[in-house]
């Protein structure tokens, strides 16, 4: 079991470009969560998705950010027209079910640097 796979590991974008971050959940997991981590801070919830559905996007900025989890393929977090403040580590986690004692399994994160 390969665990949660995120790619790329590092991503550099110029201001105004688009960033696409990919996350493949653990085999058998149908719930995906995206978190953002700024330097020296904890993880901040962004969005929670199940296959083809966004369940909770309360932590995601209303503009420039979008997320999807298609029926086939990885979950994608897209940031359009990136700005320097978007520089952070973005983590994806997956779980087998919602709530309860289902632990999250995290990927290794994508470090986005906007220059």
Partner 1 sequence: AQTVTQSQPEMSVQEAETVTLSCTYDTSESDYYLFWYKQPPSRQMILVIRQEAYKQQNATENRFSVNFQKAAKSFSLKISDSQLGDAAMYFCAYRINNDMRFGAGTRLTVKP
Per rule CB under 8 A, is residue 98 in the interface with partner 1?
yes
Closest CA to 54 of 64, 44, 68, 65: 68
**Smaller CB separation from partner 1, 64 or 111:** 111
Shortest Å, Cβ 14 to partner 1: 24
Q: What is the phi/psi pair of residue 84, to 5°?
A: -55, -35
Shortest Å, Cβ 58 to partner 1: 9
Shortest Å, Cβ 81 to partner 1: 26
Per rule CB under 8 A, is residue 96 in the interface with partner 1?
no
Binding site for partner 1 (CB under 8 A): 31, 33, 35, 40-45, 48, 55-56, 89, 91, 93, 98-101, 103-106, 108-109, 111
């Amino acid at each position: 079991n390969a665990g949660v796979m995120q790619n790329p590991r590092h991503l550099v974008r110029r201001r105004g470009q688009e960033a696409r971050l990919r996350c493949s959940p653990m085999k058998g997991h149908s719930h995906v969560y995206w978190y953002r981590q700024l330097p020296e801070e904890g993880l901040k919830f962004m969005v929670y998705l199940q296959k083809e559905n966004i369940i909770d996007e309360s932590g995601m900025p209303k503009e420039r950010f979008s997320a999807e989890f298609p029926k086939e393929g990885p979950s994608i977090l897209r940031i359009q027209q990136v700005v320097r403040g978007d520089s952070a580590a973005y983590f994806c986690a997956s779980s087998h079910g919602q709530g309860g004692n289902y632990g999250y399994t995290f990927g290794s994160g994508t470090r986005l640097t906007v220059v």
